[in-house]
Amino acid sequence: MGSGFDIVEVVAEYRALRASVLRLWYLSDPQLDLSAIDDITRFNESLDQSLAEAVGSYTSRVDQSRRMFLAILGHDLRNPLNCISMAAQLVSRTTAAGPGSARALAMIQTNTQAITRLISDLIDFASTGLGSAMPLTCGPVDLEELCCKVCDEFCLAYPQRTLRFHPNGDLTGDWDAARLRQVVSNLIGNALQHGATERPVDLSISSNTSTVVLSVHNEGPPIPPEMLATIFDPLMRHTLPESTAQRVPGSIGLGLYIVREIVVAHGGTVEVVSTAQAGTTFTVRMPRSHPEDNSHVDAPAAR
């Protein structure tokens, strides 16, 4: 592994070594006795052990690289972004900026928030993409309050767009507040990106005794049928005609994948319906509390 071979090449080399040795062994003495068979068995066992050690070493290096990657994203990139965002907020509050400067400051804040969301998506993908379950820290959450805050942020970031919020019923439950914020933010961001710019985006939430339903709807060109099957797959960027799609910074095709993983971790489902007549609607259904068998860490109330 230290010589630059990948795991496929290493396994192929061991397979070739086994075949070559066994062939030469047989040619050296076609009349093999029982002792030779024992030797062959020990040879195979030794080769299997060496292969297992090589694979283990490779896995360890991959895991170490993954941890380093997450550490760099989590610290070395987030901290400078936080400083930029705070500096922009401070300047906007303490300086009588003209219209041009105000727009520039708003762009700085919008793009730093977008990059921060991108980093969060990459960290989540690096974790769940390697087979780990999406970690949850669950506690009491008021979904109406959470959605209202997310909507306010998008309204400030995209003042030229119309975002409507329709809450209905008891919208409290036992969830991971930070993860649900990601769900709502990613779905709204997706609707703003692909929806018709002159038409509103609607966020609706309702509930019954045991379930909460959240939907995000936008008008505009429908998602092509051939894309619906892979819409929640990671690193899939579904591009609609440029004349109708508004580019949202920080999108690399992980947003809907992260939505699905978070919803599934909460014991819920997410689906999409898209037609030219009705537009596109993403619908999330979640139980009010996480399943007992779901991996999570209980936490104090989160809002």
Residues 170-191 pLDDT 10s = 999 999 998 899 899 999 989 9
For the stretch 22-60, pLDDT in tens is: 777 777 766 666 566 677 777 788 878 888 887 888 778
Phi, psi of 59 (to 5 degrees): -60, -40
How far apart are alpha carbons 126 and 303 in whole angstroms?
26
For residues 141-165, average pLDDT: 91
Is 0.85 surpassed by the pTM of this model? Answer: no
Cα–Cα distances in angstroms (integers) from residue 63 to residues 67, 70, 206, 289, in the given order: 6, 11, 42, 33
Residues ≥6 apart with Cβ < 8 Å to 51: 10, 11, 14
Could you tell me if 144 and 182 are in contact, meaning their C-beta atoms sit under 8 angstroms apart? Answer: no
3-state secondary structure of 32: coil
Higher pLDDT, 41 or 196: 196
* 170/87 Cα distance (integer angstroms): 39
Closest listed residue to residue 160, CA positions, set 206, 210, 103, 105? 103
Q: Domain limits of the chain?
A: 1-132, 137-298
Name the more confident of 77 and 232: 232
Encoded amino acid at 243, one letter: S
Q: What is the domain class of 137-298 according to CATH?
A: alpha beta
Instruction: Write the pLDDT tens digit of every residue in 243-290.
Output: 344 444 445 567 898 899 899 999 999 999 999 999 999 999 999 987
Measure the CA–CA gap between 156 and 276, rounded to whole angstroms.
29
Kindly state the average pLDDT of the residues 134-152.
91
In angstroms, the CA 179 to CA 284 distance is 13
Place of tokens 């397979």: 15
Which range has the worst mean pLDDT, 218-222, 254-258, 293-297?
A: 293-297
> CA-CA distance, 242 to 244, in Å (whole number)?
5
Pairing state between β 269-275 and 211-218:
unpaired
Is the pLDDT higher at 139 or at 51?
139
> Position 294: which residue type?
N
Q: Which residue in the block uniquely carries the two structure tokens 């105000």? A: 102
DSSP 148-204: HHHHHHHHHH-TTS-EEEEE-S--EEEE-HHHHHHHHHHHHHHHHHHS-TTS-EEEE
Phi–psi pair at 97, nearest 5 degrees: -80, 145
Q: Tokens 């050296």 sit at which residue?
A: 28
Quote the CA–CA distance of 109 and 219 in Å, as a whole number.
Answer: 27
Please tell me which residue, 192 or 56, carries the higher pLDDT value: 192
> Which residue type is seen at 6?
D
pLDDT score for 292: 58
